[in-house]
């Protein structure tokens, strides 16, 4: 009788452990391919302690240039990521919106980029994997 009670008392701790292991937080790196260009992309996701807000650090390459980005918004909902970030390249101020899906250690999806005036600049896909 004591064993079932002991096992039942461990369930909450095991559930929390499973949630922690399933967290998409971490550093993802990979490639992006657009209509006009391609390059590498890095996305680092972090969550404040517990179930706090998410943050993201994003950078990508365009030719030989590494472009650092400023996160505008981020939402992680289960296996889905919605992320928007701003950047400046050669005087062009733009915002990219990413819609991605987590699949194990992979994060893949689509992006679209608009100028500060709202004109379409580029769109494409990205594929990343969690760094070990």
Correct CATH for 23-130 of 2.40.128.120, 3.20.20.190, 1.10.540.10, 3.40.50.300? 2.40.128.120
The domains of the chain are located at 23-130
- Taking a C-beta distance cutoff of 8 angstroms, is the pair 124, 36 a contact? no
pLDDT of 118 above 80: yes
For residue range 27-43, list pLDDT tens digits in order: 999 999 999 899 999 99
pLDDT of 11 above 70: no
């Amino acid at each position: 009788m004591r064993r079932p009670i002991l096992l039942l008392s461990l369930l909450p701790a095991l559930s929390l452990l499973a949630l922690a292991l399933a967290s998409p937080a971490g550093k993802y790196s990979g490639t992006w391919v657009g209509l006009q260009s391609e390059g590498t992309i890095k996305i680092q996701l972090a969550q404040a302690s517990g179930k706090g807000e998410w943050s993201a650090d994003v950078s990508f390459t365009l030719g030989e240039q590494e472009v650092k980005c400023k996160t505008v918004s981020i939402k992680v909902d289960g296996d889905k990521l919605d992320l928007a970030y701003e950047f400046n390249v050669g005087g062009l101020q733009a915002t990219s919106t990413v819609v991605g899906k987590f699949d194990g250690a992979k994060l893949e999806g689509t992006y679209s980029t608009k100028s500060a005036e709202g004109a379409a600049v580029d769109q494409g896909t990205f594929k990343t994997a969690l760094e070990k």
